[in-house]
Chains A and B, each alone.
Chain A
Amino acid sequence: MKILRPKDVKTKGMRQINVRGGSQRVLALCLLFVHFESLPYGERLQGSTMKDADIKRLFYVHIFCIVSIILTTFIPSFFLEDFSVLETHLTWLCICSMCVAIINVVLYLQVKPNPSSKRSSIFHKISRLLKSCVYFFISCLLFHAIIVLYGAPLIELMLETFLFAVILSTFTTLPCLCLLGPNIKAWLRVFTRNGATSIWDNSLQITTMSSVIGAWLGAFPIPLDWERPWQVWPISCTLGATFGYMAGLLISPVWIYRNRKQLTYKSR
């Protein structure tokens, strides 16, 4: 395997990198890149190459996320007895949500797509962290409320519904927190027609939308009389959200790459 250095990245297009290799290979590649990306943002690249490099970074980060989600489906069975995604669904939900959360946080801390604000005192950092936690919790509650308003049972299966809300928040709110910080105004701005200011914002739009749409589509098989284990509430919805999230992760770099000419960002 060819090890790419920063200099190579500058010149070589994305197509040269073989992604079709085994997941092991991709994983190794991603880890390499994460290492490489820990350099501060904005010092190396300018212009259109900057955008291309950004897309590349986005792609690897996303691949890493997808691989980690896939890993959560079978790695735990080595440690836990009777683990399966469908039968011990709640356990998997917790593991998957934790895993995605950790990877998101770590990756975004490493990649730092948006340079953080100038103030960087400890106090400020802690308050940001606390605020983020509160926001995450509020978003879980909000999702829970919306799901219940959508017709989920109010009292029975409360834990299941709440965990569904948690995983949905992990797929949608957490990336927002990582990328934009606990800044509601920025969140709201990103989700408007011309609100995106970087490809990271665009990918945020796409992954969030596809997670929500996946969860929405996941509700469709519930009334069918197929009597499959995955039709039980909320398994089809959580699976739908997960597949939607993964699809979003895959689609967003591709979409951004194909539309890179049209995407022009205003500086904030």
Chain B
Amino acid sequence: MLKALVLLFLAWVCFLFYAGIGLFTSGFLLTRLELTNHSSCQELPGKGTLVGSGRGEPGACWTVPRFSRAVIVLIDALRFDFVHPWPAGPPAPQPFLGRLSFIQHLLEAQPQHARLYRFLADPPTTTMQRLKALTTGSLPTFVDAGSNFASYAIQEDNLIAQLNNTVDRDDWDLLIAHFLGVDHCGHKHGPHHPEMAKKLNQMDQMLQTLVEQLENDTLLVVAGDHGMTETGDHGGDSKPEVMAALFLYSPLPLFPGASLKDPEVVPQVNLVPTLALLLGLPIPFGNIGEVMVDLFSGEGDTQPLATALAQASAYHLNAQQVSRFLHAYSLAAQDLPPEELQHLQNLFSSASSEYEQLLDQLKTGEVREADIQALISQLRLFLRGARTACTETWARFRPARMIGGTILLASTCLLCLITSRLTSSPDFPFHCLLLRAVVWGLAGAVLLAGGLMAAGIGLEPSLLCAGSAATSLIAFLWALKSRESSSMTVFLPGPLPILVLLFLRSAALFSDSFVVAEAWAAPFLLRSLSLFLVAQLHWEGRLLVGVSTACLSSPTASLARREGPRALGLLVGLLLCVRLSILFHRCPEETPVCQSSPWLAPLATMAGGQAKNLWYGACLGTLGVLVLAVRFWLRRCGNLNSPAPPVLFVRWGLPLMALGTAAHWALASGTDEAPPRLQALVSGAVVGLPRAVLALAAIGLGLLLWQPVTVLVKTGASSSNHIIVPFVGPPASQADLDYVVPQIYRRMQEALRGKLARGGGQTPLALAAYGLGSVYSAAVVTALALLAFPLLLLHTERISLAFLILFLQSFLLLQLLATAVGTPAGSPGPFSVPWLAISAWALTATQTFYSTGHQPVFPAIHWNAAFVGFTEGHGSSPVLPALLVGANTFASHLLFSVGCPLLLLWPFVCEGQGSTKRKKTLASGTEVGGEKEEEPLMEMRLRDSPHHFNAALLQLGLKYLFILGVQVLACVLAASILRRHLMVWKVFAPKFIFEAVGFVVSSLGLLLGVALVMWVDRAVGSWFKQLILSQER
């Protein structure tokens, strides 16, 4: 199998996953751009108003205030039927019916003062989003992309901000009371519980007291931010969830006529413009609501013409503001459909011109009420159209896309599973299948694009990608099915324990408690897996000797004698590492129950003194240990003696990087203590040092790519006549025979070949290549070390200890896996990494994400990382800070996925662990195949069968992608099934986002890692050729 094919295939599978994630995201994650513009009092959204502009009057802004104050009572989860009047007499069948009798009393007694509305909330019906809607008049979505989307503060223009900016009256203007009791009661007991009746009675009493205190210039607003389902939950878009109640009351008569029998439906966003104009404030910039026309009945007089004029002017102001917002928004973002915008624009301009006409007619004094009504209806049409367009875009799940994305993800997982089993078969035609899939995918994309263009819908990248991914996936699976029907049978990943583990891991993502506790759950599963591994080793009698006396004489027993205590030691070390890494956990939220590790804070925040110095020393020690560990490992493998540039870089560049990091930490943690004369120098260094470290890492990686072969060649190092590992005595068992006979045969063959080639008598020239046995893993380890230093720099100082644990732990895990899962001793056949190893690796990656102080919630992101090396902040471009913060957040994903090929390589590296010298002699024969070994072949076994090597890499990549893909799939399912859940926007949706981005980072890292190994393989090939050429000369 070709190397390029492996990479292409992996890239294609990644593309399928991305398309699935993208499609789901476009249906699930409602996004919107936050504009920072603010309305101001001086600047009207358009031309002046018809009547009562009131400019220049005290306290007036766009309009004259109707009320000088307002009291807003926000009762969380006040569903409409909680307030709906209930005839006195028979007891209500439900505890929540007819409890707010005071509102009923007001409605009946003072119909011109009070009015009840159905208050239609827009999904997502979660409190945070609703509060935002009730103050900004917009449709907040889960991700309101803005300058800082992790903040809980509202950045957009809103009513409260307008109140603070505009008005400076002496006492209070707005009183907001937010009652959470009803919501809490609903979550705990549901609406049908007697507790709900008690709670509503309390609310009723509170309102009664409030109304008694109310003055004449005050408007009372009682509103629910959302409703609740029959079980008391909310968050989704079902009718009981979105139908809240709104009750308005004024001590003075406010409404022209009596209220309707059936209360009117009012969208929630309409409250903001209404309140703004009633209080004489500018309407917030981003409002898309429409004023509630009943409340603008003209002051005092009840003439129909004056009322109509007042309503028309309020409508016109509102329409001007909405039009201005739509214009500003369409300049900043393209998600509103352009045709719709054009249509709205036309509506608005025709209404405006009519308005102009009306102004002229007003001057001449001939205004008919019918004209005004026509204008009002036109303005209303525009406002409603604008709101519908925005709702369509921002506030609606698209179930078809969600389902499509889920299906795409699931079938890609299945594809990974099926193909990972087929890789080992030598004659499997991957290239023609891939070609067919790609062609079909392209054709599908083109067809879809044509269809979309014909239907007049804009080309949406997520839709196009999904279409092409689906067609190519179907084409591939179809071809696979027609090729070999037997292989399509259900195939489960690995043995039962792995299935249980995968199931637990996926099922845990469906529970908000477990998602919050994943920082504990992932290490728990990892420990269980490693304990299980060792227990199984013992169960099979491979751990300790003296147990299975029957097979003591076989080679496996002698293997066990060596490996038993080592496996136990590795296990204990691994468990210790995992336990220690918990010390660096961060809490998703700071609560008294959960306190984040104090070690996550930067050293600069510590009060000076001994402790700070000690910590700094510990961090320095960590850096030193990291550098030395890499060097030591390379030396043990024999790669450190090579004169290749990457090795030189490891010798000199890595310590330099460590030095730079240490200096940066010293300066950054003690910037304030520097003497004033050196202040400029220090600030320069704080900027320069991280960049220097980054540049060094880039240079190192460049060198590694330039000459990745780190092998020292010595000629004539040893004579070549040792045949094999000495074997004394007659062979006792079949195993011994299997061991000896092929070597004798090979030796004979070689001798014969040597004679034929050289005419005999001539001793072949011996050649020793140090470090050839670990040439691949040396490159990967070097790359990991080079990656780790910049990532380390992006974290706070003390997390370097967590990085040390990370490296130690993954080393121990690799050793344990290599020991326990079985060395491929002598097997030239298909190589394969077991599911257990890959699951453990993926679990370690997850665990490390948490143990480097991360949590899958937005407030826990380390924003400081954006300023490492850029203390002054960035320009307008968000790319670089996003990269820095992303690298910080997904550091563990990146490291573990780049290091993923080590899972395949490590057992080969461990093969030669017993002997100290890592060298391999090459007879300078006529061909590369004429090698003879007195040392273990190690990674050269992989080179000996390039087809199997490539197949194993492909299989490894597919298996890793499968494990990660199943996690993403579980997140996707959890988020879509539980989209009504209380915690969906707080737990499940952020978890999905982090998991999806983590998947993208991991898959890219995996591609890089696999590509690196292949690059090294290519370089080794050309190195062999050169060697042979030079020997022949």
Question: A residues near B, CB below 8 A?
Answer: 146, 148-151, 185, 188-189, 191-195, 216, 219, 223-225
Contact = CB atoms under 8 A, between A and B. Distances in A.
Contacts of A219: 524
B576 interface: yes
A189 B541 CA distance: 8
Most B C-beta atoms less than 10 A away, residue of A146, A151, A185, A223: A223
B544 A188 contact: yes
Interface residues of B, number: 25
Interface of A is mostly: loop
Contacts of B516: 223
A189 B528 contact: no
A75 to B, nearest CB: 35
B524 A193 contact: no
A82 to B, nearest CB: 27
Interface of B: 511-514, 516-517, 520-521, 523-524, 527-528, 538-541, 544, 546-548, 575-576, 578-579, 582
A151 B579 contact: yes
A224 B513 CA distance: 5
A193 B539 contact: yes
A119 B524 CA distance: 46
Contacts of A224: 511, 513-514
8 closest Cβ pairs, A-B complex: A223-B517, A149-B575, A224-B513, A192-B541, A225-B513, A149-B579, A223-B513, A188-B547
Contacts of B582: 151
Contact of B547 (A148, A151, A185, A223): A185
A146 B576 CA distance: 10
B813 to A, nearest CB: 15
Given A148-B579, A150-B527, A151-B524, A192 B513 contact: no
A265 B521 CA distance: 41
A225 B521 CA distance: 15
B540 A193 contact: yes
A208 B511 CA distance: 31
Given A185-B546, A185-B547, A192 B539 contact: yes
Contacts of B540: 192-193
B851 to A, nearest CB: 12
A192 B521 contact: no
A189 B547 CA distance: 5
B527 A149 contact: yes
Contacts of B578: 149
B575 A223 contact: no
A55 to B, nearest CB: 24
Given A219-B524, A223-B513, A224-B511, A192 B576 contact: no
B520 A151 contact: yes
B654 to A, nearest CB: 32
Contacts of A191: 538-539
18 contacts: A148-B579, A149-B527, A149-B578, A150-B524, A151-B527, A188-B538, A188-B544, A188-B547, A192-B538, A192-B540, A192-B548, A194-B548, A195-B541, A216-B528, A219-B524, A223-B513, A223-B514, A224-B511
Contacts of B539: 191-193
Given A185-B547, A223-B513, A225-B513, 17 more contacts: A148-B579, A150-B524, A150-B575, A151-B523, A151-B527, A151-B579, A151-B582, A185-B546, A188-B538, A191-B539, A193-B540, A195-B541, A216-B528, A223-B521, A224-B511, A224-B513, A225-B512
Contacts of A188: 538, 544, 546-547
A194 B550 CA distance: 11
A222 to B, nearest CB: 8
A192 B560 CA distance: 14
Contacts of A216: 528
A223 B520 contact: yes
Contacts of A148: 579
A143 B512 CA distance: 31
B539 to A, nearest CB: 6
B503 to A, nearest CB: 13
B312 to A, nearest CB: 54
Contacts of B514: 223-224
Contacts of B541: 192-195
Nearest to B521: A223
A188 B547 CA distance: 7
Contacts of B548: 192, 194
Contacts of B521: 223
A148 B582 CA distance: 12
A148 B579 CA distance: 8
Contacts of B528: 216
A53 to B, nearest CB: 29
B515 to A, nearest CB: 10
A223 B520 CA distance: 9
A216 B529 CA distance: 12
Nearest to A266: B550
Contacts of A194: 541, 548
Contacts of A192: 538-541, 547-548
A157 to B, nearest CB: 15
A65 to B, nearest CB: 24
B369 to A, nearest CB: 61
Contacts of A225: 512-513
Nearest to B523: A151
Nearest to A190: B547
A189 B548 CA distance: 7
Contacts of B579: 148-151
A194 B544 CA distance: 14
Contacts of A193: 539-541
A149 B527 CA distance: 9
A189 B549 CA distance: 10
A61 B579 CA distance: 40
A150 B521 CA distance: 10
B576 A149 contact: yes
Contacts of A150: 524, 527, 575, 579
A17 B576 CA distance: 51
A214 to B, nearest CB: 14
B1003 to A, nearest CB: 29
Given A148-B579, A151-B579, A195 B547 contact: yes
Nearest to B550: A194
